[in-house]
Structure 1
């Protein structure tokens, strides 16, 4: 796990490090991600919870109660309120979804897939050959992750 990605909030009060390559990077076009980011989509970098290290500051955890969708938690800077990463009910406490825009070099992590294309803005063009789904695929089916990353995905699902 020599590969590492550093990131932080807008004001610099919180800094963190992702140890190792992500399980996957996705571009989510769901309405929730559009609202949360104030943009057309969110770039989410999925990694195991234990691979995130706080280097400076302490993120504030907020819970969003979403009824039958399942509650989610979001880790934000307590000063500038930047959303750093969140969890997803499907993965319990096993994985975090880092917002790629908070990484110092987030542009290095190209999406493996695009989710919720049913609510994609019409002017967003998905590159040819990149997996795309109208909602979420079952257990990562249809996303080319290779054996090692697929094993990590299955381990996070299994807990």
Structure 2
């Protein structure tokens, strides 16, 4: 899977060179606030599979839905929030790429909805969608191939 995206002004471009580990729809208040929307679609992928060209994103440290810090990366020219690095995410240098910045954002859809305790009441999740009030346990949700990739990544770090 080769997915490409950019910030609004095009100063930052990127290509994802592997498939996502998983795709989240996060409904936490922090994601609502930073995106100015009801939720955000995050593509969880290893940093080494995100090939950036153009400008280097700037970053700011914010609190995530878990209460732990996360680093939000954005274009300093147009302000587009392109990805985050969450402190609580296991594995080496995982990035959470904003699917809305993809050239073709309908190429991905959420595997799981998280922090639905703060989901806007008028938003209806798709029938049968996997959803959690807060976070979840990876072993309970992720496909076997993604869990194995995460295991291999962790083993390579030791």
Q: Aligned to 1:14, which of 12, 15, 38?
A: 12
**Contact in 2 for aligned 1:26/1:43 (Cα 8 Å):** yes
SS of residue paired to 1:35:
helix
**Following the alignment from structure 1 to structure 2, what is the Cα–Cα distance between the partners of residues 134 and 8?**
31
SS of residue paired to 1:54:
strand
SS of residue paired to 2:148:
helix
Q: Following TM superposition, by how much is the alpha carbon of 1:153 offset from its aligned partner in structure 2, in angstroms?
A: 3.9
Kindly indicate whether residue 109 of structure 2 is the aligned counterpart of residue 75 of structure 1. no
Greater Cα offset, 68-77 or 47-56: 68-77
Q: Aligned to 2:43, which of 42, 45, 62?
A: 45
**Counterpart position of 2:146:** 149
Distance 1:81 1:9, change over 3 A: same
Distance 1:154 1:130, change over 3 A: farther
Q: Aligned to 1:55, which of 20, 32, 53?
A: 53
Distance 1:154 1:126, change over 3 A: farther
Q: Following TM superposition, by how much is the alpha carbon of 1:63 offset from its aligned partner in structure 2, in angstroms?
A: 2.2
**Following the alignment from structure 1 to structure 2, what is the Cα–Cα distance between the partners of residues 109 and 43?**
9
**Following the alignment from structure 1 to structure 2, what is the Cα–Cα distance between the partners of residues 122 and 157?**
38
Q: Give TM-score, length-normalised by structure 1.
A: 0.87
**Following the alignment from structure 1 to structure 2, what is the Cα–Cα distance between the partners of residues 129 and 90?**
27
Q: What's the Cα RMSD here? A: 2.1
Kindly indicate whether residue 102 of structure 2 is the aligned counterpart of residue 109 of structure 1. no
**Contact in 1 for aligned 2:139/2:147 (Cα 8 Å):** no
Deviations 1:131-153, CA, capped at 9 Å, x for gaps: 10000012x2432x421112234
SS of residue paired to 1:84:
strand
Q: Which runs of 5+ in 1 are unaligned?
A: none
**Number of aligned residues:** 154
**Counterpart position of 1:134:** 133
Q: Which runs of 5+ in 2 are unaligned?
A: none
**Contact in 1 for aligned 2:5/2:101 (Cα 8 Å):** yes
